[in-house]
Structure 1
Amino acid sequence: MNTYALITGASKGIGRSIAMLLAKKGYPVLLVARAEDELKALAQEITALYKVQANWLAVDLSTNDAAQKVRQWSTENSYPVSILVNNAGYGIWGNFESVDINGQLNMICLNINALIKLTHLFISELKQQPQAYILNVCSTAAYQAVPTLAVYSATKAFVLSFSRALRYELKDSTVSVSCLSPGPTDTGFAHRAGLDALADLAAKFNMQPAEVAALGLKGMFNKKAEIIPGFLNKLSVGAARHLPKALIEKIGGDLYKSK
């Protein structure tokens, strides 16, 4: 293939699995994340396994100029992009007033600002392709307010709303926009968010990153607006849509209760 798939947060978890699956389909991949050693190792593994080009850029996407660096890198090296996967993101758990504000603002920069900037920077190039895709990785937390994950769930609600609006704006173009909303997934998210106390509970419901990635890409290539992998996750989203908000918030607040 002559065009590339660009994946952020590609060094581990769902992003890594998406990169591997796209490479398996024959797409040369552009891998973006902070962890240089992990990116380098992944690029070497992809090249060895699938005989496609795998290039990487180590950058902290939460910084103001990171998206521009990614765009400049792809332009200067003549990497035409037909798939943009905005996967990078993380969560922070705890009562809003107790959690360091700088950490929460950094999370907003990564979960929202980086996604918006990258999409805006690449959209013109994507529209020039015969067929192009944007896959924004969201969360089932997008469908309801989640006490103790207040800012995280709000960022994901933004991503979901933005994705649907952009999808409509681009409906007459060659670019299809999809939003992938996983539930609990074995990616290390809970540990980084500070949810180690719920690790045993999460493990009972965790999906594997490769499974989530496969369902996400299947939905993306089928041009689905929203992709919710797993029966239990579909059930929880359905409940969030139809049950009273106060009840859903109480359930979430009890589940993720902060001491």
Structure 2
Amino acid sequence: MPIALITGASRGIGRALALGLAQRGYDLLLVARSADQLQALAQEIKTQHQRTAEVLALDLTQPDAAAEVATWAAHQAPEGLAVLINNAGYGLWGRFEKLNLEEQLNMLQLNLNLPVQLTYALLPLLRRAAKGYILNVASTAAYQAVPSLTVYAASKAFLLSFSRGLRYELKDSTVSVTCLSPGATATDFGNRAGMGSELQAVANKVSMTPSQVADAGLKALFAGKAEFIPGVLNKVSAGLTNVVPKPLVEKIAAGIYEKYL
């Protein structure tokens, strides 16, 4: 059976991606910090979809996390890994100089360094499979600078660029790379980012569900798309960044996010 590995698998979009892959016949390797949530998800996958799910509870912000995940994955899938989903990540809301620097660096480790390190380490396993897929989960914030989410948006812009560059390098191989960039999604992102209730209420008005995002993302992945933005409103807003002057885009974004600081 094909095997897929997902980071940040215990909740939100990661959890929905795991269930979606299980429904499609994949066995799962699930990685996140919460052992209890991973075990509960693994049991749900076994009960509802009759697929196996191995779990690794790990703090992925640690510098050696990627090496530990890669060693574990090689043991679990010696014949090859069919899918790698780099989903782990979070945001921090606030002005750059006011936010704690260590917390911002931890965020960069998770959003930026981990996907690069893990992809590098697991590419040999992905090449062993008849067909390999990499899905990097970015954000619509990747398409413009976002004041008060400055470092988060920059990390997602990196992930988008990394995905497209790597995709081209692998174009003649059996491994395909896709970048998924969701907009507002009904997850714990706002709470983790430190957003206030007023801003979260605004986001909730246009939020998609994790299942909607995951289903769209998996369809894009297996269709071999370079990048995909789920939701019509999200597509339009990201598309406008190509035609609207950057200072105006940044002013609009600041108007949405900074007014609640």
TM-score if structure 2 supplies the norm length? 0.97
Aligned to 1:103: 103
Deviation of the 1:100 alpha carbon: 0.4
Give the CA deviation at 1:78: 3.9
Structure 2 counterpart of 1:175 = 175
Look up the SS of the partner of 2:97 in the other structure: helix
State the partner residue of 1:112.
112
Aligned AA (1:242):
V
Query: Is 1:246 equivalent to 2:247 in the alignment?
Result: yes
Q: Quick one: which amino acid aligns to residue 256 of structure 1?
A: Y
Stretches of structure 1 lacking an aligned partner (at least 5 in a row): none
Alpha carbon RMSD of aligned pairs, Å? 0.9
Hey, what's the Cα distance between the residues in 2 that align with 1:209 and 1:91?
17
Residues 17 and 218 in structure 2, CA contact (< 8 A), matched pair in contact too: yes
- Residue of structure 2 in register with 1:94 after alignment: 94
For 2:90, what is the secondary structure of its paired residue? coil
The whole-number CA distance in structure 1 between the counterparts of 2:76 and 2:230 is 35
Report SS of the residue matched to 1:205: coil
Contact 2:10 2:32 survives alignment (8 Å): yes
Q: CA deviation at 1:200?
A: 1.1
**Aligned residue number for residue 151 of structure 1:** 151
User: C-alpha offsets along residues 151-186 of structure 1, whole Å, 9 cap, x if unaligned?
Assistant: 000000000000000000000000000000000000
CA distance in 2, matches of 1:51, 1:128: 25
User: Is 2:115 the counterpart of 1:81?
Assistant: no
Pairwise CA distance, 1:61: 1.0
CA drift of 1:209 comes to: 0.2
Alpha-carbon distance between aligned partners in 2 of 1:103 and 1:66, rounded to the nearest angstrom? 17
What is the identity, as a one-letter code, of the residue corresponding to 1:115?
A: P
Does residue 199 of structure 2 align to residue 198 of structure 1?
A: yes
What 5-or-longer segments of structure 2 have no aligned partner?
Answer: none
Establish whether residue 227 from structure 1 lines up as the match of residue 228 from structure 2: yes
Say whether residues 1:237 and 2:238 are aligned partners.
yes
Q: Is the 8 A contact 2:138 2:156 kept in 1?
A: yes
State the partner residue of 1:24.
23
The 3-state SS of whatever aligns with 1:56 is strand
Q: Displacement of 1:76 after TM fit?
A: 2.5
The count of residues paired between Structure 1 and Structure 2 equals 258
For residues 116 and 75 of structure 1, the distance between their equivalents in structure 2, rounded to whole angstroms, comes to 17
Distance 1:183 1:82 in 2: 27
Write the distance in 2 (CA, Å) between the matches of 1:77 and 1:93.
Answer: 37
Could you tell me how far apart the structure 1 residues matched to 2:72 and 2:181 are? Answer: 29
Any conservation in 1 of the 2:81–2:128 contact (CA below 8 Å)? no
* Residue correspondence of structure 1 range 59-70 to structure 2 within 5 A: 59-70=58-69
Distance in 1 of aligned mates of 2:128 and 2:239:
37
Give the secondary-structure state (helix, strand or coil) at the position aligned to 2:163: helix
Q: Which residue of 1 aligns with 2:54?
A: 55
What is the percent sequence identity of the aligned residues? 54
Distance 2:190 2:116 in 1: 25
Per the TM alignment, residue 122 of structure 1 is displaced from its structure 2 partner at its CA by 0.5
CA distance in 1, matches of 2:137, 2:22: 18
Q: Distance in 2 between matches of 1:53 and 1:128?
A: 20
CA displacement, residues 10-38 of structure 1 (integer Å, 9 cap, x when unaligned): 00000000000100111000000001100
How far, CA to CA, are the matches of 1:76 and 1:221 in structure 2?
A: 25
**Amino acid of the structure 1 residue aligned with 2:105:** L
Q: CA separation in 2, counterparts of 1:76 and 1:169?
A: 27
- Asked whether the equivalents of residues 3 and 77 of structure 2 are also in contact (C-alpha less than 8 Å), the reply is no
Alignment partner of 1:33 is 2:19:
no
2:129 alignment counterpart: 129
Of residues 19-28 and 72-81 in structure 1, the stretch that sits farther from structure 2 once superposed is: 72-81
Give, as a single letter, the amino acid of the residue that structure 2 aligns with 1:236. Answer: S
